[in-house]
Structure 1
Amino acid sequence: MSNELVISSTQKGDRIALLQDKRLLEYHVEESDSSFTVGDIYLGTVKKLVTGLNAAFVDIGYEKDAFLHYLDLGSNINSLNKFTKDVIAKRTNTGRLNNFKLEPEIDKLGKIDKVLSKNAPILVQVVKEPISTKGPRLSCDISIAGRYLVLVPFANTVNMSKKITDKAERTRLMRLMSSIKPQNFGVIVRTVAQGKDVEELDRDLTNSLEKWEKGIALLRDAKPRDRIIGEMNRASSILRDMLNESFDSITVDTREMYDEIKTYIHTIAPEKEKIVKFYTNNKMKVFEQFGLEKQIKSLFGRSVSLPAGGYLIIEHTEALHVIDVNSGNKSNSEEDQEATAVSVNKEAAKEIARQLRLRDMGGIIVIDFIDMKKPDNKKMIFDVMREEMKTDRSKFTILPLTKFGLMQITRQRVRPEINIVTKEVCPTCGGTGTIQASILITDAIEQNLEYILTRQNEPGVQIMMHPYLYAYYTAGWWSKQMQWFMKYKTWVKLIKDSSFGINEFKFYNKQGEEIEVTTA
């Protein structure tokens, strides 16, 4: 099983695709001006205490105040508040907690107005990004995630990932971390720390500690709403959580991102540095080269086809997501109805586990599988779903199939769901249903090209267009493209892009800047 990461950068932000055996598994869009990312730590101000909800609303700079529940304060909130006030008042100059006296832990069943006061400064961490009409969700249980460890200030415990099941390894890691962790800092050992030696773990711990200290240095002169510690970008966080021996390629199409990724890989796994590749093919975009545009368009629709003939219908509502499994033309390929149901359901379970990660669907998901009579078959589908979702990084709970063939899943939602519109308004008629002069598209391209080459004398012209138009202009030896060359004595470069509408085109100059043109 091979994993590849493909990153396409634009002025608006980055598109990140995680491929497993050439199949799209995760897709992320990270806008360049995005803020309030999960893991970011801010200096906020308590704006309102709501005793009925046992929660507070905190201003961290978002248009709506962020939500902080009492249960998310963390047991060491008093220590955090005391330390924050000491840093702002410049009574302490370091993020080290060796000489810091921890305050008593708060009561788990207490009230928020006994712990926080209105207009007080507070250090908070984003645990859920703004979704729909809701602001960010916050926590005061601060943590700094590293490659192998999670550093937890104001705690003294060492906790272990539940996925580390080997008793001897758990004992080794527990003793090791207890001996190297700094005073008044807790540590959570991640699953990927299994088998790692003390040098690697200590380096990861040191990096997280440095990140905390740099944030505290900023806190000394920070103003309310300032970001104190920023989470790394989405591409780096995927690598931090998933980079292993199965990763064999990371392809990036900008030099800036290439240098950033290579530096990060050098820090966390120097032996994997050679898998980072800089994409230099100017004839085709990187997503087009890997066939990702087509996969994205086919995988984000309301209907998703299964390889052997069945299909899924995925409906989204405010309260939950509903997935209906249908047999399609698969119904005649098995010997009986039960066999057909098992075959389609098994295939559907695998695709649904992929769709949950791909669309980053969260909340309640209800799946209507095809009815099966035998309890063993129901249990088998339940086991397949659990196995397929093992690698999902989000927290989830799966319940067995009910007597009606329904499966219920809850999946943690920490950021807005990825939603890509796969139905396009006709670029010719604009959705009106009447087509006018679509044949004029070639005339528009010819007229614009002639004006650019003869009036503007623009060298190195490139035209980006739909693959159908590309095929029309490049077909045969005496193609339209060759005719242009003979007429204008300069080669016009054509680039196909399947994300374009069928009669959409754009002109670019030699520097890759778009040239304003008229359309048909």
Structure 2
Amino acid sequence: MNKELIINSSGEGVELALLEDKKLVELHFERGQGQFAVGDIYLGKVKKLMPGLNAVFVDVGYEKDAFLHYTDLSPYLRSLLKFTKSSIEDTANWGDDFGRFKNEAEILKSGKITEVFTGKPEILVQVLKEPISSKGPRLSCEISLPGRFVVMTPFNDVVAISRKIHSAEERKRLQRIVESIKPKNFGVIVRTAAEGKNTAELHTDLLELEKMWKGIQKNLKGAKPPQMIMSEQDKTTSILRDMLNDSFQKVVVNDKALLGVARDYISKVSPGQEDIVTLHSNGQPIFDTFGVSKQVKAAFGKTVNLNSGAYLIIEHTEALHVIDVNSGTRSPEAGQEANALATNLEAAQEIVRQMRLRDLGGIIIIDFIDMKLAENRKQLHDAVEQLMVNDRARHTVLPISKFGLMQITRQRLRPEINISTAEVCPTCKGTGKIGPSILLADDIEKDLKYVVSQGLRSLKLYVHPIVEAYLTKGTFFKPSIAKKWEKEHKTKLKIVVDNNSPITEYNFYDAQTDDLIKL
């Protein structure tokens, strides 16, 4: 599989498109100085204890207090509070050697929030989920520092190996290496990317993360909450960190500064691969050149068409996402069951792509076309699981139920990407409400009577084109409504089309002076 990262830098920020075999699978936005990204570490202050929720609200500088649940506190909470306080007051007795730090007793996994927090302490927290809708960020006290091959966690000495590394011998080799080189008082999670790497590469990664932890301690000195202590890497380097491998063929950027950032990062983590980063400078928009813009227009929207003529309907509710698979037209020669399986397998590829592209999270219900044979349903389930192997978000795929539905849960860390593909209604301006009255002609005539009573006898009435047609339509035997008004109210009335006017709005003007008449 060939992977390409296309980076578009503009005045509004940075857009990143990840292509797999020329097909758009992920789209990321980094707008200006965006705050509260997943992985950012803040010094916050507990503002309110919520025993009923077994949680606290923490001020980290967002307009709404962030949410910290007991289950996200980390067993080493007391050690974290001690580290935070000592670092702020610059009374750390372990100096630069974190291995000399003495841990406090662990907290209970099933404890109460009121048992671990007294008063409103200052606390080091990490953003677990970005602000979504009306909710503030969700926080965690289980601080983790991600590198390319390992993730480092302070206050413990546990070494864990990614479950995606299946070889027992390789797991033992990595366990042995990491246990021999890791710093004391740090736990390590070995990532899938570490498979096959040598001791020197893993050690370099660990040293970088240990240096990052020392930087956090330094930044805490004299800090006042709310304050950012360490920012997650920008999207460009974080995507390269998480996804760079031998299948990455190309990184194309349209900004010289980003070109330098990407090359510098790749030179550190994968020397010799710097040449895959190139500068786009042919004069055309970079997303147009690589077909990203066209794919975005085709992929977002309620309806997504497939090559065979089948299509998907994707809808979002408050509780879940619903995807309906429709067959369109299929050859009758193959038979209903074969057609259903072929359509479902094709739809599965697009659904997995859409989940990554839009970053759909939470509960996802898929209504595939009904299949009678159990082996076909199992084949479809296995295909979806295999297609989701490259999805970095944690997920669970359940077998198709007796109602013909597949249920998927997928981790959501940031707001769903939802690009508008429709025009705003000129009448309601996108609110979905039209008012104040459906009896528009009666309202206009009532205002006309008032204007005439003020002594004005020559008027212009500006209205929506549909209203103009309704008021001026008449015959030789049946005069128009506008003509009736002129005769009844003894005034001269000219109806003027206003293409920018909502259908329920109108304005009277003095025909002599062209002044707007305020009602």
Q: Which bin holds the TM-score, normalised by the shorter protein?
A: 0.7 to 0.9
Deviation at 1:425, TM superposition (A): 4.8
Matches of 2:52 and 2:252 in 1, distance apart? 51
Q: Hey, what does 1:206 align to over in structure 2? A: 207
Q: Hey, what does 1:497 align to over in structure 2? A: none
Q: Hey, what does 1:159 align to over in structure 2? A: 160
Alignment of 1:144 with 2:140, yes or no, is no
Alignment of 1:377 with 2:376, yes or no, is yes
Decide whether the 8 Å contact of 1:48 with 1:118 is kept in 2.
Answer: no
- 1:132 to 1:95, Cα distance in 2 relative to 1, 3 A: farther
Deviation at 1:117, TM superposition (A): 2.7
Alignment of 1:387 with 2:370, yes or no, is no
Q: Which residue identity lines up with residue 310 of structure 2 in the other structure?
A: G
Q: Hey, what does 1:15 align to over in structure 2? A: 15
Q: Which residue identity lines up with residue 255 of structure 1 in the other structure?
A: K
Cα deviation digits, residues 224-270 of structure 1 (max 9, x gap): 01111110111211111111111010000011111111111111111
Q: Hey, what does 1:346 align to over in structure 2? A: 345
Matches of 1:179 and 1:400 in 2, distance apart? 42
Cα deviation digits, residues 450-508 of structure 1 (max 9, x gap): xxxxxxxxxxxxxxxxxxxxxxxxxxxxxxxxxxxxxxxxxxxxxxxxxxxxxxxxxxx
Deviation at 1:118, TM superposition (A): 3.2
Deviation at 1:424, TM superposition (A): 3.3
Cα deviation digits, residues 90-117 of structure 1 (max 9, x gap): 1127453121111111111111111123
Deviation at 1:346, TM superposition (A): 0.5
Q: Hey, what does 1:485 align to over in structure 2? A: none
Q: Is 22-31 or 331-340 further displaced after alignment?
A: 331-340
Matches of 2:112 and 2:425 in 1, distance apart? 57
Decide whether the 8 Å contact of 2:89 with 2:222 is kept in 1.
Answer: no
Matches of 2:96 and 2:352 in 1, distance apart? 42
Alignment of 1:366 with 2:401, yes or no, is no
1:314-333 maps to which residues of 2 (within 5 A)? 314-329=314-329, 331-332=330-331
Q: Hey, what does 1:277 align to over in structure 2? A: 278
1:48-447 maps to which residues of 2 (within 5 A)? 48-92=48-92, 94=95, 96-282=97-283, 284-329=284-329, 331-332=330-331, 334-425=333-424
Provide the secondary structure at the position in 2 that maps to 1:218.
helix
Deviation at 1:271, TM superposition (A): 2.0
Provide the secondary structure at the position in 2 that maps to 1:347.
helix
- 1:23 to 1:95, Cα distance in 2 relative to 1, 3 A: farther
Give the TM-score normalised by structure 2. 0.81
Provide the secondary structure at the position in 2 that maps to 1:271.
coil
Matches of 1:20 and 1:375 in 2, distance apart? 32
- 1:352 to 1:94, Cα distance in 2 relative to 1, 3 A: farther
Q: Which has the larger radius of gyration?
A: 2
Matches of 1:433 and 1:237 in 2, distance apart? 51
Consecutive unaligned residues of structure 1, counting only runs of 5 or more, are: 436-520
Decide whether the 8 Å contact of 1:176 with 1:198 is kept in 2.
Answer: yes
Cα deviation digits, residues 260-305 of structure 1 (max 9, x gap): 11111111111211100011122x1100111111110110111101
Q: Hey, what does 1:474 align to over in structure 2? A: none
- 1:417 to 1:334, Cα distance in 2 relative to 1, 3 A: farther
Q: Hey, what does 1:30 align to over in structure 2? A: 30
Decide whether the 8 Å contact of 1:334 with 1:340 is kept in 2.
Answer: no
Provide the secondary structure at the position in 2 that maps to 1:339.
helix
Cα deviation digits, residues 299-324 of structure 1 (max 9, x gap): 01111011111100000111100000
Q: Is 315-324 or 84-93 further displaced after alignment?
A: 84-93
Cα deviation digits, residues 31-57 of structure 1 (max 9, x gap): 112100000000000001111111110
Cα deviation digits, residues 125-180 of structure 1 (max 9, x gap): 00100011111110001010000000101111111111111111111111111111
Consecutive unaligned residues of structure 2, counting only runs of 5 or more, are: 431-462, 467-519
Matches of 1:190 and 1:434 in 2, distance apart? 63
Matches of 1:26 and 1:100 in 2, distance apart? 42
**Identity, % of aligned pairs?**
53
- 1:251 to 1:405, Cα distance in 2 relative to 1, 3 A: same
Give the TM-score normalised by structure 1. 0.81
Provide the secondary structure at the position in 2 that maps to 1:36.
coil
Cα deviation digits, residues 422-467 of structure 1 (max 9, x gap): 123599xx999969xxxxxxxxxxxxxxxxxxxxxxxxxxxxxxxx
Q: Hey, what does 1:40 align to over in structure 2? A: 40
Q: Which residue identity lines up with residue 116 of structure 1 in the other structure?
A: F
Q: Which residue identity lines up with residue 372 of structure 1 in the other structure?
A: M
- 1:168 to 1:343, Cα distance in 2 relative to 1, 3 A: same
Q: Hey, what does 1:502 align to over in structure 2? A: none
Decide whether the 8 Å contact of 1:46 with 1:56 is kept in 2.
Answer: yes
Q: Which residue identity lines up with residue 274 of structure 1 in the other structure?
A: D
Provide the secondary structure at the position in 2 that maps to 1:211.
helix
Give the 4+ runs in structure 1 shifted more than 6 A.
430-435
Q: Which residue identity lines up with residue 414 of structure 2 in the other structure?
A: R
Matches of 1:365 and 1:433 in 2, distance apart? 43
Q: Hey, what does 2:436 align to over in structure 1? A: none
Provide the secondary structure at the position in 1 that maps to 2:100.
coil
Q: Is 143-152 or 158-167 further displaced after alignment?
A: 158-167
Matches of 1:13 and 1:221 in 2, distance apart? 32
Q: Which residue identity lines up with residue 286 of structure 1 in the other structure?
A: I
Provide the secondary structure at the position in 2 that maps to 1:98.
helix
Deviation at 1:405, TM superposition (A): 1.0
Provide the secondary structure at the position in 1 that maps to 2:107.
coil
Provide the secondary structure at the position in 2 that maps to 1:328.
coil
